[in-house]
Chain A
Amino acid sequence: MTRITVTVNGAREETAVEAHESLLTTLRERLGLPGSKNACEQGECGSCSVLLDDVLVCACLVLAASVDGREVRTVESLADGSALDPVQRAFVETGAVQCGFCTPGLVVATHALLRENPEPSLAEIREALSGNLCRCTGYGQIVEAVQRAAKTMYLHGLDDE
């Protein structure tokens, strides 16, 4: 076991991890943050998308031991109590959620996109979400949610930052 110190959603966490453990396992099983989902463990589905030092990655492909001293943000950090952030609100309002298993990853990926590119084109949205599989909803409403979130954030800024 290796001890690491990592800032997760703004809070400093210290925990011991196995040498081969993924960040996804650490978040879900050691830090009580199961919002990032485990659906493939090979970076194919995007359900475990998180921001590592502000960069969008699949938590399942990050070695937990290597995040020592770094900063991780998960889907759990986005809402402030009952107040949803603009991306989450847009997903709710457009009906972009069905079973919801892929949703946390999509919400985080959308954040990563809009931070870099506040006015994405349709093609840019599709490119940005191409690593997040959804098996129920059908993408149309998801793309619409991103467009709506972009519009709100463009007008009002990022509520949560």
Chain B
Amino acid sequence: MTRILKSIEEFEGEVSESLVIVDGHDLPPARHDGGSPEIGRSRRRIDATQRVTGRARYTQDLYLAGMLHARILRSPHARARVRRIDTKRAEALPGVRGVLHRFNTPKTPFRGDDVIFREEVRFVGEEVCAVAADDEDTAREALALIEVDYERLPHVVDLEEALGDVAPQLESDGNVSESGSHKRGDTKRALKEADVAVDVTYRTSTQLHNALETHGAVALYDGEMLTVWESTQHVFGVRTGLKNALKLPYSRIRVICDYMGGGFGAKNGVGKYTIVASLFAMRFGKAVRCVLTRDEENLAAGNRSATLQQLRLGAKGGRITAIEHTSWSNSGQGKWIANPTGPTNTLYEVANVNTRSYKVVTNAGSLSAFRAPGYVEGAFALESAIDELAEAAGVDPLTLRRRHAGAGKDPITGNRYSDKHLLECYRIGAKEIGWDRRRAGGTRGSAPHRRRGIGMASQIWGGGGGPPAYATVHVDPDGSVVLTAGTQDIGTGTRTVLAQICADELGVELDDVRVQIGDSAGPFGPMSAGSMTLASVGPAVRLAAHDAREQLLGAAAGVLETPKAELRLEAGAIVSKGARTPLGEVLGKVDNNTVIGKGIRFPNADDLAQKTFSAQFAEVEVDVRTGEIFVERIVAALDVGRIVNPLTAASQVEGGVIQGIGFALSEERIVDRALGRVMSGNLEGYKVPTVKDVPTIVVKFVDRPDRRANNLGAKGLGEPPIIPTAAAIANAVANATGARVRHSPLTRARVLEALALAGIRD
């Protein structure tokens, strides 16, 4: 019976309620006895062959016949009014097909604005014009021939400058607005009564995603259908964005993302480049390609906000009694903020908490979600401060955390956790790193000027996923299987784990399942973000496979003239009293029938909090003369429910830890304040970790199914591994040297400064 149910979902720290249309019943939790043929097995990626041979086609690899190339002219000014645009010379260039700008482009609503080319451009890199030409070179040349008359306006790019009184006010109500707060207990009183207290300020710099494949789209319009290939984390989100911008019905827009070179949160929806490519495609009836360069990527495709965070913590009798946390985030021209106080609000059971989070607008590129947005920045501050408090109170920092980490309820909603094994993560991680070797004040390093230390930090995050998500399983007459699901593989291995779930439930071999995803022509599914793909789509796939299996067994009962109850489907064969008949043989007897199994994601319980937990431990050496940090070992112990594929899961954790190392040590967007220009806009100036920067990373999973979460018992894994890394490293550096670096990344200059402040000389 079709009915409506209420569900509670968490997405990137925000909890919301939704209504879900459901039909039938969900499955009970999958078994977890080691007898599962696929779930819990390390399987190589089913699409790895395409990727290692160079045959996989990414958006940037599509070269369609007669395709035009679009390029975007971007503002060289941090803030200016576009008064006049002269495109005559550009349009006269042979090979140029057209130019779009604010004076000739129809209204195309985009993220709260009703145009894509604004009158007032508000950051260096903002879109001013777009050119379509027969080739990339001509389009680029044409950009240089466009004359734009700008009226320059006062700007501010720096977070702390924007907070000050003399900065230009960019919004009618100022640059700063409150975006969230939480209060429980009485922190003022608790701080007054505390035995020890710390009052500290932390900063984090802007981090840039730098997925190896830049943003881009190829659009094709045939008079009826607009087809867009895009490197995106959400084909349906792009479809919605195009529907709003171009006023086409959903049925006339198809968005495809087959292979994709990473996103990390920056590719969650439609981009201006998508709309530009589509507008040109619709005007010229040709394919149009608009792919950003690395420079454009780092100007206008999102970032992790820089933050300023103040924390006051108090302890009494060896327990944390109060946390006050105020945070300001540089959201650039973004319309939201990622909340750094999220971990403070929820990670520990502390009676008195008071947090406030502010959005600060500046003339810098908009933030976008970046792998655990807010939580990475917030965890750096909170988990550093907890160590500072532990040090002041003379308590081992792990012991102090243990005293607050065992709560069974979410402190904000009061809802019980569906499952939680944070203390187990501590146990596993501490043992693996050798926490008992840690000495207050660190130990001697491998040279007289080197000090050695160990640190740790922990993490909370959502990851429970939720509806809506759909899947279908088609079984063809030869017994081969096509799984279609509303999702896309952004590189994490979604195709592989969904195939495993399908093969497992259906009773066929993994090789027999082909996975069709990344296409808005299929059933709806969520964004591949917020650590929610597996927990959202996986249960729907399981249900679809279950439905198909029931139908197949019913069909087999008829063909084999055996009661259905005596039949099983195993490894692609119908098994009856020891006799095995291949599925293809059974189905071959009923002509070209197609069996279609259908699955949906059932709602989450509305009285449970679904969270992921983990802890990371870092061992470092620090050269106290040069300020160099050598990370020698990271141990990550994670509680993310059941692990479907240990091989791909471990690889995701390693990747997250490495981005965390980048955030901690070398990744930093540098902007010239006077001009508002990004000075580190390419991979030469912006340093992501190389193979030589990466230590041994040990990954441990608690691997217990969360039976109350969903029918798989699995939760998300994309974001948890990046959250605690920087704090664990900063805590290890403090342990090694006695100096506290309160600004991430911990560059060599900042380490030296902290050493000097602490009065430490070699």
Chain A, 45-78, contact with B by CB distance < 8 Å: what is the 0/1 string?
Answer: 1010000000000000000000000000011101
Instruction: Using CB atoms, name the residue of chain A closest to B694.
Output: A139
Q: Which of A93-146 contact B (CB under 8 A)?
A: 93, 95-104, 107, 126-127, 129-143
Instruction: Report the separation of the CA atoms of residues A15 and B52 in the bound assembly, to the nearest whole angstrom.
Output: 27
If over half of A's interface residues share one DSSP class (helix, strand or loop), that class is named, otherwise mixed; here it is loop
CB pair A135–B211 under 8 Å, yes or no, is: yes
Q: Which of B260-293 contact A (CB under 8 A)?
A: 260-262, 264, 293
Query: Does chain B have a CB within 8 A of A38?
Result: yes
Q: Could you say which residues of chain B place their CB within 8 Å of the CB of A100? A: 47-48, 50-52, 56, 259, 261, 491
Q: Closest Cβ of chain A: how far from B562's Cβ, in Å?
A: 38
CB pair A84–B690 under 8 Å, yes or no, is: no
Query: Does chain B have a CB within 8 A of A161?
Result: no
Instruction: Report the separation of the CA atoms of residues A88 and B61 in the bound assembly, to the nearest whole angstrom.
Output: 20
CB pair B55–A99 under 8 Å, yes or no, is: no
Q: If A102-B212, A127-B692 touch, does A34 touch B54 (CB 8 Å cutoff)?
A: yes
Q: Could you say which residues of chain B place their CB within 8 Å of the CB of A44? A: 682-684
Q: Could you say which residues of chain A place their CB within 8 Å of the CB of B692? A: 126-127, 130
Instruction: Report the separation of the CA atoms of residues A84 and B691 in the bound assembly, to the nearest whole angstrom.
Output: 25
CB pair A97–B490 under 8 Å, yes or no, is: no
CB pair A35–B493 under 8 Å, yes or no, is: no
CB pair B214–A39 under 8 Å, yes or no, is: yes
Instruction: Using CB atoms, name the residue of chain A closest to B654.
Output: A138
Which size bracket describes the interface of A in this complex?
A: 35 or more
Query: Does chain B have a CB within 8 A of A3?
Result: no
CB pair B659–A45 under 8 Å, yes or no, is: no
Q: Which of B53, B211, B262 contacts A76 (CB 8 A)?
A: B53
Q: Could you say which residues of chain A place their CB within 8 Å of the CB of B44? A: 92-93, 95
Q: Which of B310-340 contact A (CB under 8 A)?
A: none
CB pair B260–A92 under 8 Å, yes or no, is: no
Q: Which of B617-655 contact A (CB under 8 A)?
A: 647-648, 650-655
CB pair A95–B45 under 8 Å, yes or no, is: yes
Q: Closest Cβ of chain B: how far from A49's Cβ, in Å?
A: 11
Of the candidates B261, B492, B691, B692, the one having the most CB atoms from chain A within 10 angstroms of its own CB is B691
Q: Could you say which residues of chain B place their CB within 8 Å of the CB of A98? A: 262, 491-493, 651-652, 655
Instruction: Using CB atoms, name the residue of chain A closest to B56.
Output: A100
Query: Does chain B have a CB within 8 A of A158?
Result: no
Instruction: Report the separation of the CA atoms of residues A110 and B499 in the bound assembly, to the nearest whole angstrom.
Output: 30
Q: Closest Cβ of chain A: how far from B210's Cβ, in Å?
A: 6
Q: If A18-B137, A38-B60, A98-B493 touch, does A92 touch B54 (CB 8 Å cutoff)?
A: no
Q: Could you say which residues of chain A place their CB within 8 Å of the CB of B211? A: 99, 101, 135
CB pair B212–A47 under 8 Å, yes or no, is: yes
Instruction: Report the separation of the CA atoms of residues A103 and B60 in the bound assembly, to the nearest whole angstrom.
Output: 15
CB pair A143–B691 under 8 Å, yes or no, is: yes
CB pair A37–B651 under 8 Å, yes or no, is: no
Q: Could you say which residues of chain B place their CB within 8 Å of the CB of A32? A: 63
Q: Could you say which residues of chain B place their CB within 8 Å of the CB of A142? A: 691
Instruction: Report the separation of the CA atoms of residues A30 and B489 in the bound assembly, to the nearest whole angstrom.
Output: 29
Query: Does chain A have a CB within 8 A of B657?
Result: yes
Q: Could you say which residues of chain A place their CB within 8 Å of the CB of B52? A: 75, 79, 84, 88, 91-92, 97, 100, 103-104, 107
CB pair B45–A97 under 8 Å, yes or no, is: yes
Q: If A40-B683, A101-B213, A130-B690 touch, does A141 touch B51 (CB 8 Å cutoff)?
A: no
Instruction: Report the separation of the CA atoms of residues A78 and B49 in the bound assembly, to the nearest whole angstrom.
Output: 12
Q: Closest Cβ of chain B: how far from A84's Cβ, in Å?
A: 7
Instruction: Report the separation of the CA atoms of residues A97 and B44 in the bound assembly, to the nearest whole angstrom.
Output: 9
Q: Could you say which residues of chain B place their CB within 8 Å of the CB of A39? A: 212-214, 261, 294, 683
Q: Closest Cβ of chain A: how far from B682's Cβ, in Å?
A: 6
Q: Could you say which residues of chain B place their CB within 8 Å of the CB of A37? A: 58, 60, 212-213, 261
Could you list 30 examples of A-B contacts with CB < 8 Å?
A35-B54, A37-B60, A39-B683, A42-B684, A44-B683, A75-B53, A78-B53, A95-B45, A97-B52, A98-B492, A98-B493, A98-B651, A98-B652, A99-B212, A99-B260, A99-B491, A107-B52, A130-B692, A134-B655, A135-B211, A135-B655, A136-B491, A136-B492, A137-B655, A138-B653, A140-B654, A141-B650, A141-B651, A142-B691, A143-B691
Please provide the 9 A-B residue pairs with the shortest distance between their CB atoms, ordered closest to farther: A35-B54, A99-B491, A138-B654, A100-B51, A101-B261, A34-B61, A44-B683, A75-B54, A88-B52
